[in-house]
Structure 1
Amino acid sequence: MADAHAKKHDYHIIDPSPWPVLSALGALVMALGTIAWMRYAAGSPLPFLGLDLANPWLFFIGLVLVLYCMFGWWADTVKESHQGFHTRVVQLHLRYGMIMFIASEVMFFVAWFWAFFDASLFPGEAVQVTRSEYTGGQWPPAGIEVVDPLHLPLYNTVILLLSGTTVTWAHHALIHNDRKGLIWGLALTVALGILFSAVQVYEYVIAPFEFKNSIYGATFFMATGFHGFHVFVGTIFLIVCLIRAMRGHFTPQKHFGFEAAAWYWHFVDVVWLFLFFCIYVWASWGAPIAHH
């Protein structure tokens, strides 16, 4: 009788889970909370069933729920791996899922690049749909001083390229069962990611233009800011991998969690190279540079 109920396939049928429903609910609350926060910042009410929802707290409630679901869902995934459910077929499908996720992120950044190139390549058309002082018919817009691409942006480029090298070192160390090399490579990658974010924040503080004063500032901060957010998420991803590596979770044969983090980090590296050469270098060519 026991053989009759034994699993005879390589697929994993997961147990009923609350995480998909709770994650969707958290995302909905966080989205509504974002609108409520914007209304609150603008001093406008957001009436709903006799209540004024215009406050920032709804967003944070949704964020906490989303973070809780992420922790619980991924913790269950790790447990399933330790229980032997992640067969070769399951691991292959996890890789397909990560590839599709990164592909969706690529299209996400395509939207920001599209907005930037639409404004920069056709500044005369931007004048027709915005106030004329936004561009002056040129790019960068008249009166805009740009960030020196050979200062902090170049520094951050070197940092990210180095981080790509260290995470690759960690990957090769894991494949060769070098635990010390794996931990050191991950620790250095995390440190470089934190350093990149710190430099990015400092660059924003001293930037000679603002988000709201020109289409140049809006497209610049949206593209580089969302990349910075992805660096922040990737750093958290790598910190989790570092903790798991220190606990001995990864083996040379089974380490998809680390592999997914490495893929994501390399994706962040490549996007930054496009940002650096297109937005910092090409689009700033010949414009007055702000010196601090």
Structure 2
Amino acid sequence: MSTAVTKGQAPYYFVPGPSRHPMMAAVGLFFVVLGAGQWVNGVEWAPYCVLAGFIWWAVVLKQWFSDAISESERGLYGDRIDLSFRWSMAWFIFSEVMFFGSFFGALYWARLHVLPNLGSIDNALLWPDFKAVWPSEMAGMTASPAGTVEPFRTMGPWPIPTINTALLLTSGVTLTIAHHALRENLRGKCIGFMWLTVLLGATFISLQAFEYYEAYHHLNLKLSSGIYGSTFFMLTGFHGMHVFVGMLMLLFITLRLMKGHFTADKHFGFEGAAWYWHFVDVVWLGLYMVVYWT
């Protein structure tokens, strides 16, 4: 049962009562995984199972977050809970660093170790026509001398990736301005810059979708385009997904600001979303330099 609370005073450490939300969220994820597993095997009902699972999961999260927001607005979250949230968000972002680190590591290993090794004298008898060149823009230039990888062109840094870089860097500035405005209790200014940040994030996603269209239809660059194609789409695709999630976080924070939530002194919900967004910005800078320029 929840901690007893003196009116107007937050508990030392709030302990919520029993909740159905974890179990219900697990049910939704079960149907997502079940449907995804059957989808790759060509089962007709699988896409509908995935969709139903996501809808179920989203409804549960909405209810779960609504309960947490209600508890926060009732003043149940004291300093100990605030510290818990900060540590939780820090460890979550650390896990995201490791997540992207694995993909950057795969790109590094393929380019600086695997490719030179395959093109060495030791493998000359096995693949005499192999050319250890990066990026691999035609069949036979990577570990596919038999021509199983279709010819393609690589994605350069101009214009869309560079424009997207400017958009994300600008969004980091507008978010910082909004944060300082909130700390100074300038709610109107804060909300205005938050909407601008959300708009910049949405524009980034739209331009990346157009970039993918160009890649598939004009460059013949696909996920199956050798190690270059797989690392390109894994890195940029997962980053785009994180931008989308971050944009949703900032959108919901903005809507809460418009409802009068958060104060100049207590607004970790805002800060946590800002941490995540700045992390996404930093990852993009590394991705922009490594994937598009080198």
Give yes or no for contact 1:157–1:273 (8 Å, CA) kept in 2: yes
Identity %: 40
Aligned-residue offset at 1:74: 0.9
The runs of 5 or more residues in structure 1 that have no matched partner are 46-52, 283-292
Could you tell me which residue of structure 1 aligns to residue 47 of structure 2? 56
**CA distance 1:85–1:147, shift in 2 (3 Å):** same
What secondary structure does 2:231 align onto?
helix
Could you tell me which residue of structure 1 aligns to residue 22 of structure 2? 20
Query: What amino acid is the match of 1:141?
Result: S
Q: Which moved more, 1:25-34 or 1:224-233?
A: 25-34
Whether 1:121 and 2:123 are equivalent positions in the alignment is no
Give yes or no for contact 1:26–1:63 (8 Å, CA) kept in 2: yes
The runs of 5 or more residues in structure 2 that have no matched partner are 139-151
Query: What amino acid is the match of 2:62?
Result: F
- TM-score, scaled to structure 2: 0.84
Could you tell me which residue of structure 2 aligns to residue 266 of structure 1? 278
Query: What amino acid is the match of 1:91?
Result: D
Alpha-carbon distance between aligned partners in 2 of 1:9 and 1:245, rounded to the nearest angstrom: 25
Aligned-residue offset at 1:89: 1.1
Give yes or no for contact 1:169–1:182 (8 Å, CA) kept in 2: yes
- TM-score, scaled to structure 1: 0.85
What secondary structure does 2:77 align onto?
coil
Whether 1:198 and 2:198 are equivalent positions in the alignment is no
Whether 1:66 and 2:68 are equivalent positions in the alignment is no
State how 1:136-155 maps to structure 2 within 5 Å: 136-143=131-138, 144-155=152-163
What secondary structure does 1:177 align onto?
coil
Query: What amino acid is the match of 1:186?
Result: M
Indicate the structure whose relative CO is greater, using CA pairs within 8 Å and at least 6 residues apart.
1
Aligned-residue offset at 1:6: 6.0
**CA distance 1:142–1:82, shift in 2 (3 Å):** closer
Alpha-carbon distance between aligned partners in 1 of 2:11 and 2:118, rounded to the nearest angstrom: 58
Query: What amino acid is the match of 1:269?
Result: D
Could you tell me which residue of structure 2 aligns to residue 250 of structure 1? 262
Whether 1:230 and 2:242 are equivalent positions in the alignment is yes
Alpha-carbon distance between aligned partners in 2 of 1:146 and 1:261, rounded to the nearest angstrom: 34
Could you tell me which residue of structure 2 aligns to residue 172 of structure 1? 180
CA deviations on 1:42-92 (whole Å, 9 max, x unpaired) are xxx5xxxxxxx7521111121112111211111111000011111011111
**CA distance 1:173–1:137, shift in 2 (3 Å):** same
Aligned-residue offset at 1:9: 5.1
Whether 1:184 and 2:196 are equivalent positions in the alignment is no
Give yes or no for contact 1:39–1:54 (8 Å, CA) kept in 2: no
Alpha-carbon distance between aligned partners in 2 of 1:252 and 1:156, rounded to the nearest angstrom: 31
Could you tell me which residue of structure 2 aligns to residue 48 of structure 1? none
Alpha-carbon distance between aligned partners in 1 of 2:200 and 2:82, rounded to the nearest angstrom: 29
Give yes or no for contact 1:156–1:196 (8 Å, CA) kept in 2: yes
Give yes or no for contact 1:174–1:251 (8 Å, CA) kept in 2: yes
Alpha-carbon distance between aligned partners in 2 of 1:55 and 1:9, rounded to the nearest angstrom: 46
Give the superposed CA RMSD: 2.1
Alpha-carbon distance between aligned partners in 2 of 1:139 and 1:166, rounded to the nearest angstrom: 38
Alpha-carbon distance between aligned partners in 2 of 1:251 and 1:195, rounded to the nearest angstrom: 29
Query: What amino acid is the match of 2:160?
Result: L
Could you tell me which residue of structure 2 aligns to residue 101 of structure 1? 92
Query: What amino acid is the match of 1:204?
Result: Y
- Runs of 4+ with >3 A deviation: 5-9, 124-128
Aligned-residue offset at 1:263: 0.6
Alpha-carbon distance between aligned partners in 2 of 1:201 and 1:73, rounded to the nearest angstrom: 31
Query: What amino acid is the match of 1:56?
Result: P
Alpha-carbon distance between aligned partners in 1 of 2:72 and 2:135, rounded to the nearest angstrom: 51
Could you tell me which residue of structure 2 aligns to residue 30 of structure 1? 32
What secondary structure does 1:39 align onto?
coil
Whether 1:240 and 2:235 are equivalent positions in the alignment is no
Alpha-carbon distance between aligned partners in 2 of 1:202 and 1:126, rounded to the nearest angstrom: 35
**CA distance 1:247–1:6, shift in 2 (3 Å):** closer
Whether 1:159 and 2:167 are equivalent positions in the alignment is yes
What secondary structure does 1:56 align onto?
helix
Aligned-residue offset at 1:220: 0.3
Question: How many pairs does the alignment contain?
Answer: 264
Query: What amino acid is the match of 2:21?
Result: W
